[in-house]
């Protein structure tokens, strides 16, 4: 059933990509209620941009402090009210199971944009699309999942989806403290999926068709010390570059280069509840295996760029490291 549903979605998605002009009025007259109880840049902007490009409109909040939640309004009351205004609801919430609860209260469809550390099904749809486009199939793949597997809701959703396709093998790469929850292992076992748990990223890389990296999630830890002990446990940089990777980004690229611009967009959206067109494009030279950097573009919609507008190139380098972009090899300078 999952495979048939995905194939139908894949056909629709590729048709939209190939013929976007045919869908500019697909949601005309429809309203999306966007309820983000947790910070979000990519998911929030993705839904808002998609709805606008399909001809619809968006209402809601990206900060619960600007809603009646601060007055004690329950999730049930919020959903009941918003479903009177909107034709569909997309919600992110820090509590596991919140999306399921919302769907029971709502009179309109509810899309789960992430519920705590449980699941993130819409991210999985984009991951499946990427795998299908880049690998040509969703079966008989060896997939490495690395980092915070205990809290990584995208990992949980992706494993559940990929377990529906035959012949897939999973390499789970994490420290013992960050290992995959038992209930997700139960899903793999029930599907007779082969999986292996290891702690070494370098050991796993030669075996993989796909590597799925996750960050260590500060917001899921109750102890700052515990987070600091695990932060940086796994980093995919030019120091462990693998020729099979489509793009390898250094920590310097991510933290020093990209993060200030990502925060600029996030802060603007949080403060104004307005929309930003946002795009990041990796830039390769010739047949290089590693991108020389990324082009970052942003434009705030409602104020025509007065709030946020930039078009910058961020270099993919790392102080103290020499990178051969053609081969993916690197060495300490």
Active site annotation includes 95:
no
Residue 274 appears among annotated catalytic residues: no
Classify each residue of 63-89 as buried b or exposed e, where b means 16 or more C-beta atoms within 10 Å of its C-beta: bbeebebeeeeebeebbeebbeebebb
Q: Tell me whether residue 140 is one of the annotated catalytic residues.
A: no
Q: How far apart are the first and last CA of the chain?
A: 53
Q: Which two tokens stand for residue 172?
A: 């789970």
Which is catalytic among the residues 78, 118, 120, 156?
A: 120
Q: Verify whether residue 120 is a known catalytic residue.
A: yes
What's the order of all strands across the beta sheet hosting 169-173?
194-198, 169-173, 142-146, 210-213
Among 92, 118, 153, 270, the active-site one is 92
Choose the catalytic residue: 19, 65, 71, 332: 71
Q: Which of 30, 41, 42, 185 is catalytic?
A: 42
Give Cα 28 distance to the centre of its chain: 27
Residue 13: active-site member: no
Q: Which residues are annotated as catalytic?
A: 42-43, 71, 92, 120
């Amino acid at each position: 059933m999952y495979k048939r549903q995905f194939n139908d979605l894949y056909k629709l998605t590729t048709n939209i990509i190939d013929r976007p002009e045919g869908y500019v009025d697909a949601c005309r007259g429809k309203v999306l209620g966007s309820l983000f109880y947790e910070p979000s840049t990519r998911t929030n902007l993705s839904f808002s941009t998609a709805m606008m490009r399909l001809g619809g409109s968006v209402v809601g909040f990206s900060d619960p402090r600007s809603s009646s939640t601060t007055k004690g309004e329950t999730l049930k009351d919020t959903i009941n009210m918003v479903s009177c205004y909107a034709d569909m609801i997309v919600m992110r919430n820090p509590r596991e199971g919140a999306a399921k609860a919302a769907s029971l209260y709502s009179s309109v469809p509810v899309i789960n944009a992430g519920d705590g550390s449980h699941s993130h099904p819409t991210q999985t749809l984009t991951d499946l699309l990427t795998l299908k486009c880049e690998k040509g199939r969703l079966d008989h793949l060896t997939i490495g999942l690395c980092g915070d597997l205990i809290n990584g809701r995208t990992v949980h959703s992706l494993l559940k989806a990929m377990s529906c396709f035959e012949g897939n093998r999973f390499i789970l790469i994490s420290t013992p403290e960050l290992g995959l929850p038992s209930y997700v292992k139960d899903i793999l076992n029930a599907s007779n999926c082969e999986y292996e748990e290891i702690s070494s990223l370098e050991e796993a890389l030669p075996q993989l068709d796909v590597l799925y990296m996750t960050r260590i999630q500060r917001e899921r830890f109750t102890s700052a010390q515990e987070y600091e002990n695990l932060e940086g446990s796994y980093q995919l940089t030019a120091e462990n570059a693998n020729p099979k990777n489509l793009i390898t980004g250094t920590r310097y690229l991510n933290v020093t280069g990209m993060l200030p611009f990502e925060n600029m967009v996030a802060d603007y959206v949080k403060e104004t509840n307005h929309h930003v067109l946002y795009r990041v494009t990796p830039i390769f030279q010739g047949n290089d295996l590693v991108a020389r950097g990324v082009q970052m573009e942003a434009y705030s919609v409602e104020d025509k760029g007065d709030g946020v507008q930039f078009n910058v190139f961020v270099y993919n380098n790392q102080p103290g490291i020499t990178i051969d972009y053609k081969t993916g090899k690197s060495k300490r300078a």
